Structure 1
Amino acid sequence: MKIKSAEFVISNTDHTKCPVTTQPEYAFIGRSNVGKSSLINMLTDKTKLAKTSGKPGKTQLINHFHINEEWYLVDLPGYGWAQVSKTLKESWQQMIRQYLLRRENLMNIFVLIDSRIPPQKIDLEFIQWVGENGLPVSIIFTKADKTGNRKILSNIATFKNTLSQTWEQLPPSFVSSSAQKIGQQEILDYIDQINRSIV
């Protein structure tokens, strides 16, 4: 797939205010500071489509971007250690869950995992929740440029092994680097494959 256009549409805090459309939608979510905004910018070849920040918790809304006038990319707030109040964290959690459970045209949830570190409990719990609710999910291991290849492969293998203890079949997964554009075409081709299957 080639990205010809990527336009911001709307930000909101309520799934009922998302664009009224039957076009397929793909959500991106991960622990705070996992590199989600950088990945979205890399996938779309737009340096400032999604706002990046070194401070966790930059994304606080459900952000819709219209891609090629054919499908939507959705940037969701990160979960985890963003330095915000407990009340706001709970509000984000409720907003995210309602969106994921009730958005009928949601084709896939891309969960971003930092490839530089060992499996984190919060990531495993979130993926488990997605699976238990029967939602379509894929994993993107981010920041693959930041450490030696052996370390990355070891962390990814450990994550998959841990997940396999509760999953009969592991979700599809991708390895990415926003700085080096690793995984860009593979992820876009996967989205294109799903789009073609529902036409």
Structure 2
Amino acid sequence: MSDPLARAQYRLAAHTPAQLPPDTGYEVAFAGRSNAGKSSALNALCRQNALARVSKTPGRTQQLVFFQIAPHEDRHLVDLPGYGYAKVPRELQAHWQAFVAGYFERRQALKGLVVVMDIRHPLRDYDRQMLGYAVPRGLPAHVLLTKADKLGRGGSGNVLQTVRRDLEADYGDGVSVQTFSALAKQGVDEARAVVAGWLGL
């Protein structure tokens, strides 16, 4: 099958560990601060317009949303809650954080993490928190510096070099990084290759 990611389809949304699908196969998680462009990135990677809902309201994703790569029952993309500045009660944020932390600690099917960052505001606290879940467990992580079209080639290249240096200093070689633009379809094939590799496709 030449383009398996294009066959991604919604499977379920989990608000508690009991609602997660069986812990088998391969999963790649996607994280990003509110409005970093995570939904747009997911849609671009899967060549679909409405797989992940693009919301003008920050923090809409309030569960772990699983997209199954048909026809494989055990291959999933997982959209994590983007609670960078979501206007939600503190107890709910605490629930998400505990749920996501437990997911990273115990989930055997999880093979990699994609962290989506707005290229104009990279490596914020939330981004480092997500990388901090993955790296100690030895999970590979890949950073998408989204909205690269906003800066142009020179500006985005400078940010890429700076972020790459910072990531190497803090996390060694466990985290890779690239520029990305869902709008300009920039870096899509590179990101698809990373994700498809982790999914064993």
TM surpasses 0.5: yes
Three-state SS of the structure 2 residue aligned to 1:26 is strand
Matched, 1:122 2:122: no
5 Å-filtered alignment, 1:68-79, equals 68-70=70-72, 71-79=75-83
Distance (Å, rounded) in 1 between the aligned partners of 2:6 and 2:101: 31
Specify the alignment match of 1:183 in structure 2. 187
Superposed CA RMSD in Å reads: 2.0
SS in 2 for 1:131: helix
- The Cα shift of 1:162 comes to 2.2
| Structure 1 unaligned regions, length at least 5 | none
CA 1:46/1:153 → structure 2, altered by over 3 Å: closer, same or farther? Answer: same
Of the three residues 112, 117, 122, the one matched with 1:113 is 117
In structure 2, relative to structure 1, the CA distance for the partners of 1:191 and 1:164 (3 Å cut) is closer
Out of 23, 34, 37, the position equivalent to 2:36 is 34
On the 8 A contact 2:31/2:130 being kept in 1, the answer is no
Report SS of the residue matched to 2:115: strand
Instruction: Tell me how far apart the structure 1 counterparts of residues 122 and 172 of structure 2 sit (CA, whole Å).
Output: 21
> 1:47: Cα distance to partner?
0.9
The worse-fitting range, judged by mean Cα deviation, of 133-142 and 89-98 is 133-142
Q: How many residue pairs align between the two structures?
A: 197
Counterparts of 1:1-80 in structure 2, within 5 Å, are: 1-2=2-3, 3-20=5-22, 22-70=24-72, 71-80=75-84
Contact 1:124 1:163 in 2 (8 A): no
Q: Secondary structure at the match of 1:145?
A: helix
**Aligned counterpart for 2:94 among listed residues 71, 90, 93:** 90
In the alignment, the residues of structure 2 paired with residue 122 and residue 6 of structure 1 have an alpha-carbon distance, to the nearest angstrom, of 27
Q: Which runs of 5+ in 2 are unaligned?
A: none
| Contact residue 160 and residue 170 of structure 1 kept, 8 A | no
Distance 1:174 1:162, change over 3 A: closer
Indicate conservation of the 8 Å contact 1:15/1:103, yes or no: no
Post-superposition offset of 1:21: 5.4
How has the CA–CA distance of structure 1 residues 154 and 36 changed in structure 2, closer, same or farther, with 3 Å as cutoff? same
**Superposition deviation, residue 185 in structure 1:** 1.6
AA partner of residue 49 (structure 1): L
Q: 2:145 aligns with which of 141, 148, 154?
A: 141
CA-to-aligned-CA distance 1:107-164 (integer Å, 9 cap, x gap): 1111111112354233234323432333332211111112222222222222222223
**2:119 touches 2:145 (CA, 8 Å); kept in 1?**
yes
State the alpha-carbon separation in 2 of the partners of residues 173 and 117 from structure 1: 14
TM-score, normalising length from structure 1?
A: 0.88
Relative to structure 1, the CA distance from residue 118 to residue 138 in structure 2 (aligned partners, 3 Å threshold; closer, same or farther) is closer
Q: Is the 1:28–1:112 contact (alpha carbons within 8 Å) kept by the matching residues of 2?
A: yes
Cα deviations across residues 72-125 of structure 1 (Å, max 9, x unaligned)?
Answer: 111110132122222221111111111122111111111111112354233234
